[in-house]
């Protein structure tokens, strides 16, 4: 009997996607090890939610300054070349973290500077990265490929924190940072093996100035009701997600009385739920990521984070994280899939860079507001307030869901 794998089989039938996936799985896993290591190292150095918030803001700040330029460059230059240069620089940043940690010279000041450099580098890598799958994968497979890629990125989110906790407990932060050095090197090798299809058409330069291209991209977004609505979903959804994740060291220590193992257990529960949702999205392809379904997922995600702020005990917290992972992945991957399919290729770099900039802006604002509000107190009330605001906006968007869905339905294929 022939097995049916739906969109998953369609995506992996493409050789470029298989190569991309091998590199991305390893890279994502190693990247998450570093993210968790930075967060926990910050907490160990300072035991301050204020510093957790500041490190998050420093990683976001260069995105606000440089992402619009990164998007314009991605629409003007070879996106693969941009990725090769920026990922090599990111490798050097991870190497600096590893060397400083191994030598005992990693201070909170050095961590702050390197976090800023991390954000600066990825201000230029992310617009190129969002253009990678549309370049190498046929349009009819693109939605499935995005969802499959999200599935294994969620496997990394599920396994990465657990791996980070194990590495840090047995070998220390230096080894955790060195793991990401190896991850970047491996990704660069697989990227060099991918081949651009003969029928690929590179975006044509507009002939306008950099500022003119930025204004044009913004006008394109504002004119599309569906894209504009989902930019709001990105803004609030990622503010809530970043605030929750950035404050998990404090939540695990203060509310659960646990160490790094408690934090990684919570992250793993969310990652497991997100993996299940991503696999479902991948199997169903474009049919699964409808605008209305994504809006309902946004409301459900906000509700689950509110639940996390209210419950007591590890078991209930794990349940809330699992459910937030299920709903949050439909929100996140569904939004990216809708945007990738709706946007014109010559606008892709600018639209997706603005999407990522909003993610990062929201992450910084959310983490800063919750972190500073929780300094010297519990993280519960600030997290609950932000989740409540997101839920109210989600309800408002659901009332207008027909018009939003209609805007995406009008996109030519």
- pLDDT tens for each residue of 364-402: 788 778 878 877 777 888 889 999 999 999 999 888 888
0.75 exceeded by pTM: no
Question: What is the rounded average pLDDT of the residues 343-355?
Answer: 68
Helix (H, G, I), strand (E, B), or coil: what is residue 208? coil
Percent of the chain at pLDDT exceeding 70: 84
Per-residue pLDDT tens over the stretch 35-70:
989 988 998 999 887 888 888 889 878 877 887 777
364 in Cβ contact with 309 (< 8 Å):
no
Percent of the chain at pLDDT exceeding 90: 26
The burial of 81, by beta-carbon neighbours within 10 Å (0-12 exposed, 13-18 middle, 19 or more buried), is given as exposed
Q: What is the pLDDT of residue 109?
A: 96
Distance CA 291, CA 15 (A): 30
**Which domains does the chain show, CATH number per domain?**
6-195+210-409 (1.20.1250.20)
- Name the region of 209 (left: φ>0; alpha: ψ -120 to 50; beta: rest): beta
Q: What is the pLDDT of residue 63?
A: 78
Question: Given a cut of 80, is residue 154 above it in pLDDT?
Answer: no
333 in Cβ contact with 218 (< 8 Å):
no
Measured CA to CA in angstroms, residue 69 lies from 15, 120, 357, 371 at distances of 32, 12, 11, 29
């Amino acid at each position: 009997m022939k097995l049916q794998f739906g969109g998953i089989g369609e995506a992996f039938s493409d050789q470029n996607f298989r190569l991309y996936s091998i590199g991305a799985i390893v890279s994502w896993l190693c990247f998450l090890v570093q993210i968790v290591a930075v967060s926990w190292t910050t907490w160990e150095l300072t035991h301050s939610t204020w510093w957790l918030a500041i490190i998050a803001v420093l990683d976001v700040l260069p995105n606000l300054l440089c992402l619009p330029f990164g998007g314009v460059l991605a629409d003007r230059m070879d996106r693969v070349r941009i990725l090769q240069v920026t990922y090599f620089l990111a490798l050097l940043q991870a190497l600096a973290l590893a060397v400083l940690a191994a030598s005992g010279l990693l201070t909170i000041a050095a961590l702050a500077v390197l976090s800023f450099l991390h954000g600066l580098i990825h201000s230029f890598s992310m617009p190129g990265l969002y253009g990678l799958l549309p370049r190498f994968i046929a349009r009819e497979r693109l939605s499935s490929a995005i969802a499959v890629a999200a599935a294994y990125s969620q496997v990394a989110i599920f396994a990465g924190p657990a791996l980070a906790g194990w590495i840090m407990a047995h070998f220390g932060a230096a080894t955790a940072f060195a793991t990401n050095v190896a991850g970047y090197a491996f990704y660069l090798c697989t990227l060099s093996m991918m081949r651009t299809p003969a029928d690929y058409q590179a975006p044509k330069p507009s002939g306008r100035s950099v500022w003119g291209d930025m204004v044009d991209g913004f006008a394109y977004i504002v004119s599309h009701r569906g894209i504009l609505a989902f930019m709001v979903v990105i803004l609030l959804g990622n503010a809530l997600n970043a605030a929750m994740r950035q404050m998990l060291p404090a939540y695990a220590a203060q509310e659960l009385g646990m160490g790094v193992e408690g934090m990684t257990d919570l992250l793993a529960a969310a990652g497991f739920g997100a993996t299940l949702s991503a696999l479902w999205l991948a199997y169903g392809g474009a049919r699964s990521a409808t605008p209305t379904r994504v809006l309902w997922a946004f409301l459900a995600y906000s509700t689950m984070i509110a639940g996390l702020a209210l419950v007591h005990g590890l078991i209930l917290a794990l349940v809330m994280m699992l459910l937030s992972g299920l709903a949050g992945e439909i929100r996140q991957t569904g939004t990216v899939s809708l945007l990738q399919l709706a946007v014109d290729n010559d606008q892709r770099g600018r639209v997706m860079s603005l999407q990522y900039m909003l993610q990062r802006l929201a992450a910084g604002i959310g983490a800063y507001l919750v972190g500073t509000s929780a300094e010297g107190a519990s993280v519960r009330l600030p997290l609950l307030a932000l989740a409540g605001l997101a839920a109210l906006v989600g309800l408002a968007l659901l009332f207008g869901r027909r018009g939003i869905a209609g805007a995406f339905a009008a996109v030519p294929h």
